[in-house]
Amino acid sequence: MPCVGKLMSTRSYHERMGTRDRIIDAAEQAIHEFGIAGATTKKIARQAGCSEALLYKHFASKESLFLAVLLERLPALHPALARLRLSVGQGDVATNLAEFATAALEFYSRAAAIASGVLADPSLMAGFRSMLADTNSGPHLPILALAEILRAEQRGGRIDPGMDAGAAASMLMGACFHRANLAYYVDLPDEDGPWATAVVATLVRR
């Protein structure tokens, strides 16, 4: 995503975007630059051209601001899951799943900076955990959504009906999440595309 602030003058940028959007953009940029621990609300507010008080009028907590970055700025899993759901019964099921795996890899790779920053900060994690519980959401939900899609393909006879769809979804999402994290530590020997194809072929083999 290009940094909007660098493409337009500060004045026109501020005129065109609402405060809430400017704060989310500034938070995303600050996390990228300083890590979560270094992305203070003071820095974020200054970058967004507003006061910290105004920032807290839009976001009750640092946790809810970071959640907004995750949900509104990253290439979300929702569209990829929606595409996969639409493709049930259409095209080649393994190709559809491999395309989804590639999108999941990209999402987890971008989300890693925020997810790891939350996990590494015990007090931020406590706030995040209770916020997720209150809103009945959480990072495990895409696994359940993927399992539902796999079951639909099983009902259509395109995937082995004896496969445990929940376990299969755990493995496909888990493999993508793990790989996205590993790539931060080491140069992985194989390319994402062939890797996703091999993983999906192994998962849905009969």
Under the binding rule (CB under 8 A), the answer on residue 93 touching a second copy is no
Find the shortest distance in angstroms from Cβ 175 to a second copy.
4
Of residues 8 and 188, the one with the C-beta less far from a second copy: 188
Among positions 109-148, residues that touch a second copy (CB under 8 A) are 112-113, 115-117, 119-122, 125, 128-129, 132-133, 138-140
Under the binding rule (CB under 8 A), the answer on residue 164 touching a second copy is yes
At residue 205, what is the residue type? R
Under the binding rule (CB under 8 A), the answer on residue 3 touching a second copy is no
CA 198, CA 114: separation in Å to the nearest integer? 29
Q: Which long-range contacts (CB under 8 A, 24 or more apart) does 23-26 make?
A: 23/48, 23/50, 23/55, 23/58, 23/59, 23/65, 24/65, 24/68, 24/69, 24/72, 24/73, 25/73
Among positions 28-57, residues that touch a second copy (CB under 8 A) are 33-37
Using CA atoms, how far residue 6 sits from 3, 35, 134, in Å, is 6, 20, 37
How many of the other CB atoms lie within 10 Å of CB of 89?
12
Find the shortest distance in angstroms from Cβ 2 to a second copy.
20
Under the binding rule (CB under 8 A), the answer on residue 181 touching a second copy is yes
Q: Which residues bind a second copy (CB under 8 A)?
A: 33-37, 112-113, 115-117, 119-122, 125, 128-129, 132-133, 138-140, 162-164, 166-168, 170-179, 181-182, 184-188, 195, 198-199, 201-203, 205
